[in-house]
Amino acid sequence: MDLKKESIKLHREAKGKIAVKSKVPLKNMTDMALAYTPGVAAACLAIAENPEEAYSLTAKQNTVAVVSDGSAVLGLGNIGPLAAIPVMEGKCAIFKEFAGVDAIPIVLNATTVDEIVAAVKMIAPSFGGINLEDISAPKCFLVEKRLKELLDIPVFHDDQHGTAVVVGAALINALKIVKKDLAKISVVINGAGSAGVAITKFLLDLGVKDLVVCDKKGILSYTDDNLNFAKKELIELTNKTKKTGLLVDALKDADVFIGVSAGNIVDRTMIKKMNDDAIVFALANPVPEIHPDEAFAGGARIVGTGLSNLPNQINNSLAFPGLFKGILEARAKQFTKPMLVAASYALANLVTAEQLNEQNIIPHIFDEAVSRVVSEAVIKVAREEL
């Protein structure tokens, strides 16, 4: 199948992937009077008197804004807001299909942190949550931080935290197979953008102790004069043994490689430097850091990628629908670390001992239980945190 040709055909024929549907009948004047003027005034006044009523009288309670400036779209880079719309529509379709959450794509003609924050703050009253999407690093970290401080609804950058939750689940299960412990493994992460930063922090939350982060210049180091604030923070949190050098040096005696960087930058000779039963998650899209066949040739025991046509697809679509379903139902103000950790373990535990093997470490997106177990994990923690 010619994927590009067929995708254009699908988008052109459908004229986009989402639509608005009325949940109430509008078949006669009584229907109109109840749903719109004059009857709608009663709902308006109820909300004016008690703002909490917005959650029971409007769609706010189950509606998420998917917000992007188009500055870091998939593997396409800074393609701008207009060209980012198909991705945001796809995200919204996934929200609805897999979690029953209504989502609206919002692309912003904005380039600065201040502009994005101001725009999202102004539209926030319409939504129960904000999903930030495809905003470049390090800008994305500042946008998320400021919006969390300003808004009373959940704000979530999926490229960071959704990815981290799924990587965590995959690693938990991979370690069951190789019989290694989170606290005793050596992990190398290549890529210090939004996903790399979040995965690093999340693995530390899970209990990983020995972790080294690389960017295109090699192991993160203060000798780099162009470090942004996010990379400086990672240096403080990681590399306790003070390794120096390039990615190939970092991989020596490592148990786990996680790539969120660029295609074809790792070969079998580099994998051979890793410990026995190496775990390789090559998540660059559309071309992974190393093809599974090459990784296996280097001695890897378990390999995961971001690709749907290969075993062990590690994709944030496994996490974000259920995460938002859970937090919207719980009416929690923000996602917390315990919520994300619980979601990661719930996702991992969905793969039974009988199902778990080197080619099956993570649930499939079409497993109907995925969204349910993730949302239930979030709800349980949210209630415990009250």
Looking only at Cα atoms, what is the longest distance across the chain?
A: 74
The SS3 of residue 114 is: helix
User: Does residue 216 sit in helix, strand or coil?
Assistant: coil
Helix/strand/coil for 224 = coil
Give me 224's structure tokens: 């780099």
Q: How far is CA 37 from the centre of its chain?
A: 41
Distance CA 83, CA 378 (A): 33
Query: Which position has the token pair 């080619």?
Result: 359
Among residues 9, 21, 23, 91, which one is catalytic? 91
Do residues 259 and 191 touch, judged by C-beta distance below 8 A? Answer: yes
Instruction: For the beta carbon of residue 115, count every other beta carbon within 10 angstroms.
Output: 14
| Phi-psi region at 267: left, alpha or beta (left = phi > 0; alpha = psi -120 to 50) | beta
Candidates 36, 184, 240, 337; catalytic one: 36
Question: Could you count the other beta carbons within 10 Å of the beta carbon of residue 350?
Answer: 20
Instruction: Decide if 335 contacts 147 (C-beta within 8 A).
Output: no
Concatenating the DSSP letter of every residue in 149-198 gives HH-SS-EEEHHHHHHHHHHHHHHHHHHHHHT--GGG-EEEEE--SHHHHH
Does the annotation count 36 as an active-site position? yes
Q: Strand, helix or coil at 130?
A: strand
For the question of residue 91 being annotated catalytic, the response is yes
Contact 131, 65 (CB under 8 A): yes
CA distance 191 to 282: 11
Q: Which amino acids are annotated catalytic?
A: 36, 91
